Amino acid sequence: MKLDISELRSGYGAGAVVDGVDLSIADDEVVAVVGRNGMGKSSLVKTVLGYLPEVQGSIALDGEELVGQRTWSIVRREIAYAPQEAAIFADLTVRDNLYGGLRRKPARHVEARLFDAFPVLAGRLAQKAGTLSGGEQKLLLLTRCLLLDPKLLVLDEISAGLQPKMVTAVADVLAATRAERSLSVLMVEQNVDLCLFLAQRVEVMKSGHLVAEVAADAEDARPLLLQHLAP
């Protein structure tokens, strides 16, 4: 699925937080957005999902304009979104959290892959999601997204709070999913290594716009990114 963002400005009512962003994600491409705090990364992905009250510019998904549409209508276009805050339903069971919003049954091998990677979810399907720890809730979010079988996946700091082993598991699951079928990913991430492993391109965001682009396979990609992130 192809995402084209052009001349995007958005905010919460008191000035633009995203201030002139042009970004294209090709079909089956993974793009990571990095940057210091308060630079508008989360606001950028929230704008794509239709959460911000004031939006100018264009967000086209396979040529169809998303600006002006409501969130519920946007996510019906095979977009899955894992927000930064662990947005789970604490009083529902893990199973209901995972399967409650599905419109069609996920493929057996997709389920198997996810539960193999994150066994804690498989073991606690009948328990309330609120009893999961902070890191486990992030895994729940990702699993819910992937069960939806999306064409565009939007991840906001999915690795924050995860132990190293689970960061690897997340990377592996995403890689395995992408090996099988086309999946575009827009990810906001602080973990530079995860960015470089998954993404083809890393965009650096500063004060509401994208200031640099680093190809992940460039030899000096890692030091270059760290330099961009330095204060």
Partner 1 sequence: MRPGTLKLAGVLVAMLCAAALGGLPVFVDAYTTSLFTTALIFAILAISLDLVWGLTGVIDLGHAIWFGMGCLGVGILTTDIDPVTKLVSAIHSQLGNYVLGGLLGLALAAVVSGVIAAWVFSFRNGGSLYVVVVTLAASVVAGIVYLKTGSITGGDNGLFGFAYPALGQRGGYWLCLVAVVLILLTALVFVRSDYGIAMRAVRDNEERAGYLGVNAFAVKTLVFVIGAVVAALAGALYGTVTGVMSQPLVGFSFATEVLIWVAVGGRGTILGPALGAFGMSLLTSYLNRSFGAQWLLIQGVLFVLVVLFLPRGVLPALFEGARRILRIPASTSAVRSLQVAPASPAQLERAQRLVAVDVRDLAVSFGSLQILRGVDIALHHAELLAIIGPNGAGKSTLMAVLADGRSKVEGSVSLGFAGGLRHRGRAPFRLARAGLVRKFQIPELFESLTGGEAFVLATHRGRGLSPWRRTRTIAVPEEVLRVLDIAGVSEHLNRTVADLPHGLKQGLEIALAIAEKPTVLLMDEPTAGLTSHERTAIGGVLRELAQAGVAVVLIEHDLDFVDAIADRVAVLHGGEVVHVGEPQTVRQSETVRTAYVGVAE
- Residues lying near partner 1 in the complex (CB under 8 A): 12, 14, 34, 36-38, 40, 42-43, 84-86, 120, 127, 131-136, 138-139, 157, 160-166, 168-169, 190, 192, 226, 229-231
Residue 167 CB, shortest distance to partner 1, in Å, is 8
Q: Of 61 and 145, which CB lies nearer to partner 1 in the complex structure?
A: 145
What residues contact 210, with CB distance under 8 A and at least 6 apart?
A: 21, 22, 23, 33, 203, 204
CB of 52 vs partner 1, minimal distance in Å: 13
Among 152, 141, 128, smallest CA distance to 85 is for 141
Structure tokens at 1: 């699925």
Q: Which helix (H) or strand (E) holds 174?
A: helix 164-180
Q: How far is the CB of 15 from partner 1 (least distance, A)?
A: 10
Nearer to partner 1, 36 or 178 (CB): 36
CB 12 to partner 1: min, Å: 7
Output 13 or 63, the one with its CB closest to partner 1.
13
Q: Where are the beta strands (DSSP E) in the chain?
A: 3-11, 16-25, 30-34, 54-61, 64-65, 79-82, 152-156, 184-188, 201-206, 209-215
> What backbone phi and psi angles, to 5 degrees, belong to 47?
-65, -40
User: Is the Cβ of residue 65 or residue 193 nearer to partner 1 in the bound state?
Assistant: 193
